[in-house]
Amino acid sequence: MLRSTSTDRPSIPARYRDTALFVLLAVLFGGSFVAIKTGLRELPPVLFAGLRFDLAAVTLLGYIVLTRPRSTWLPRTRADFVGIGMAALFLIALNNGLLFLGQGATTPAAASVMYGLNPILAPVFAWWLLGDRLSWLGALGIGIALSGVILIVQPSPSTFTDASAIGQLLVLGAAAAVALGSVFLQRVGPQMDSTPLTAWAMAVGAVLLHIASLLAGEPPTAVIGIGPETIASIVAVGIPSTAVAYAIYFGLIKRIGPVRANLVAYVVPIFAALMGWVLLGSSVSLWTFVGFLVVVAGFALIERVTIRMELRRLYHRFEETSSSQQTPPCDD
């Protein structure tokens, strides 16, 4: 008979599980950039983004309806409805519309690095909208991270008309939409659980994306006659890289905290670059790699206190483990 014990410290299997999920999340998010690049060969960008969330919303809502009581997944308060609207507009529609438009003109590696700036931009919006104080070291970290972006884009008079640079700037706009939407959500303070809120936001966001696609003149008939590779890319982006990945992401936030979970943004470019190279033959420039390292340095400076605390905690756990292994057994 199995017995469960309650303890404040996570068990070793739980830590291994979260580590494995963290790596899996980076693989799923990294793979989405490659799948998007593949699907954009046949589909208009905003229509493709809408199809992504059609599939993701149906999958996630279906799972929630089948596994949770009705009272837990229906919005009930004004803050719930406003939160769904904010998430749908910023985190789904603007985020993915700009991301899909931008990725049509840049590589998966560069796009994933630019997109990984959302944890850097969030403190700026939090200072503006929530009044959170930003220390001079935090401001310096933001400046360092932005200098990494400059290394990637390398702006000059000619780059403003270069398709790749414009694509990267559009992806940067998507990252800004994620950061701004996250801060707005914190300010609104919805009461419902994050997973049902995300599912409803996906559904509303998909409608907004389809409206934007029609306004942009994209033909809805473009989905007729698409090849098997494009169909596979829609499924890959919609289910593993959206419905499944978002569920893993919110679960990690609950268990290990948002700062540690958001570190996935700096692992994603590694898998995006590897998959882009293996599956699409995309090259990774030296400046993209250097810019990525500079962005990581900026993030480390912004989150220096939390990172230092985590390193100390890991060091103390290592000391405790070493001491217990060195203690000789007592003879009865």
d(C-alpha 299, C-alpha 144), whole Å: 9
User: Residue 325 falls within a domain, yes or no?
Assistant: no
Of the pLDDT bands very low, low, confident and very high (cuts 50, 70, 90), residue 54 is very high
Of the pLDDT bands very low, low, confident and very high (cuts 50, 70, 90), residue 96 is confident
The pLDDT value recorded for residue 11 is: 47
User: Residue 8 falls within a domain, yes or no?
Assistant: no
User: Residue 198 falls within a domain, yes or no?
Assistant: yes
- Looking at the structure of the chain, the number of domains it has is 1
User: Residue 3 falls within a domain, yes or no?
Assistant: no
- Beta-carbon contacts of 328 under 8 Å, excluding residues fewer than 6 positions away, are none
The pLDDT value recorded for residue 259 is: 56
User: Residue 233 falls within a domain, yes or no?
Assistant: yes
Average pLDDT estimate for 218-244: 90
User: Residue 4 falls within a domain, yes or no?
Assistant: no
Higher pLDDT, 108 or 73: 73
The pLDDT value recorded for residue 6 is: 42
Higher pLDDT, 77 or 285: 77
The pLDDT value recorded for residue 205 is: 94
User: Residue 65 falls within a domain, yes or no?
Assistant: yes
The pLDDT value recorded for residue 260 is: 63
Of the pLDDT bands very low, low, confident and very high (cuts 50, 70, 90), residue 218 is very high
**94 is written with which tokens?**
């603007």
The pLDDT value recorded for residue 57 is: 93
Of the pLDDT bands very low, low, confident and very high (cuts 50, 70, 90), residue 5 is very low
Of the pLDDT bands very low, low, confident and very high (cuts 50, 70, 90), residue 55 is very high
Average pLDDT estimate for 127-154: 70
**Phi, psi at 133, each rounded to 5°:** -75, 145
d(C-alpha 204, C-alpha 84), whole Å: 8
User: Residue 5 falls within a domain, yes or no?
Assistant: no
Average pLDDT estimate for 197-207: 91
Per-chain mean pLDDT for the chain:
78
Structural domain containing residue 262: 14-318
d(C-alpha 272, C-alpha 288), whole Å: 12
Helix, strand, coil proportions of the chain in percent (round to 5)?
Answer: 80, 0, 20
d(C-alpha 197, C-alpha 50), whole Å: 18
